[in-house]
Structure 1
Amino acid sequence: MKNVSLWMLALALPMSSCAQSKPEACAPEFSNATIRVMPVAMPLQAGYVTIRNRCKTTLEITAVRSQAWKDVSLHSTQVVKGVSKMREIPVLKIAPGASLQMAPGGSHLMLMDPTRDIKAGGSVDLNFVSRDGRVFRVPFSLKAI
C-alpha cells in the first residue's frame, strides 16, 4: 500500500504544479520610441513609437503616463479641408497581429508641462496603460529636432 501511495503522490505533484502555473499574458512590442526635444525649453513635446500587437485580441491603449510630464495624451493629426488639425483620442486600438506607427503628421503623443528639465541625449520612461489594466513601461530616447 505504501508503494501505491508514493506512486500516486509522485504522479500528483507534477500535475498540481502545472495547474498552479499561469501562462504569461501576451504583451505588445514597442520600438523606435523617441521624443522630439526643442532646442529651448518648451511646455510641450511630441513622442513617437511603433506598437506591434502580438496578441490574439485587440490591444486598447487608454492612457500614457510619465513622471516627467504633468499630462501625456494620445493625439491624431488629420487634414480637414486642407487644414491640418490635431485631436485628442480616447483610445488607441490595434488589431491582433497589426502595428501602429506613431509619426509626425499622424498618431502621436503630446507631452505637456514637463516636471523637470528635458534635454536631448537622455531617455525617459513612459507607461502605456491598456484597457485591461496592464501597464507597459517603455523607455523613450530624447532627441533634438
Structure 2
Amino acid sequence: MYKQLISGFLLGLCFISPVFAGSAADDMEVTAPWAREVPPGLTTSAGFLTLHNKGNKEHKLVAAESPATGMVELHTHINDNGVMRMRPVENIPVAPGGTTKLQPGGYHLMLMMLKKPLKSGDKMPITLEFEDGSRKEIQAEVLHFSMEKDMKHMKMGH
C-alpha cells in the first residue's frame, strides 16, 4: 500500500511538473517600454522595448494587444532595393540568454486604430504573448519622438 502511494505521488508529479516549469513570460525581462506620441487625427503609432531572455531556450514574441488600440502587429523594417519598408512578421525571436531590441528602424509593435491620441507622459498598457501562450503585461510610457534626435541616439549605440 505504501509503495502504491509513493508510486502514485511520483507519477502525479510527472504530470504536473510542466505547471511548475517556467514559462516564456517568466523567462522574459522587459525593459524600457515606450510608445511614440502622436497628434490628434493620427490613429497609428509604434511601440518599442527591450526583451532579455533569462532562460536557457529560445523564446518568441508572437503577438501583442492593448485596450488603447484596435489592433497591434509585430513589424520590422527591411531594405528593399535601397528603400526602407515596414513588414509584418510572425514572431520576434529572443535567443537563450540573449537580448532583442524593438527600436525605430528595426523590430517594433505597430499600434493601429488608436482609440485616442497618445500624449507624452501617458502610460499605455500592452500585453505581450509568447510562443507557449504565456503573457506578460507591461506599461509603455508615451514619449515625444524626434526622428533626428532618435537617429543620433541609435548611431551612438544606445
- TM-score range relative to shorter protein: 0.7 to 0.9
- Partner SS, residue 141 of structure 2: strand
Q: Percent identity?
A: 26
Q: By percentage of residues, which structure has more helix?
A: 2
* 2:32–2:50 Cα contact (<8 Å) kept: yes
Aligned residue for 1:75?
Answer: 75
* 1:39–1:144 Cα contact (<8 Å) kept: no
Compared with structure 1, are the counterparts of its residues 41 and 144 closer, same or farther at alpha carbon in structure 2 (3 Å cutoff)? farther
Query: How far apart are 1:135 and its partner, in Å?
Result: 0.4
Deviations 1:69-115 (A, max 9, x none): 00001000011211001100011111101100111111111000012
Aligned residue for 1:111?
Answer: 111
* 1:73–1:88 Cα contact (<8 Å) kept: yes
Aligned residue for 2:141?
Answer: 141
Structure 2 distance, partners of 1:40, 1:82, is: 32
Structure 2 distance, partners of 1:27, 1:69, is: 27
Structure 1: gaps (5+ residues): 1-11
Query: How far apart are 1:58 and its partner, in Å?
Result: 0.9
Q: RMSD of aligned C-alpha atoms?
A: 2.2
Structure 2: gaps (5+ residues): 1-5, 146-158
Query: How far apart are 1:55 and its partner, in Å?
Result: 0.6
Q: Compare CA radii of gyration and give the structure with the larger one.
A: 1
Q: TM-score, normalised by structure 1?
A: 0.81
* 1:62–1:91 Cα contact (<8 Å) kept: yes
What is the number of residues matched between the two proteins? 131
Aligned residue for 1:101?
Answer: 101
Structure 2 distance, partners of 1:136, 1:100, is: 16
Structure 2 distance, partners of 1:107, 1:117, is: 22
Q: By percentage of residues, which structure has more strand?
A: 1
Structure 2 distance, partners of 1:47, 1:32, is: 10
Q: TM-score, normalised by structure 2?
A: 0.74
Structure 1 distance, partners of 2:117, 2:110, is: 17
* 1:61–1:129 Cα contact (<8 Å) kept: yes
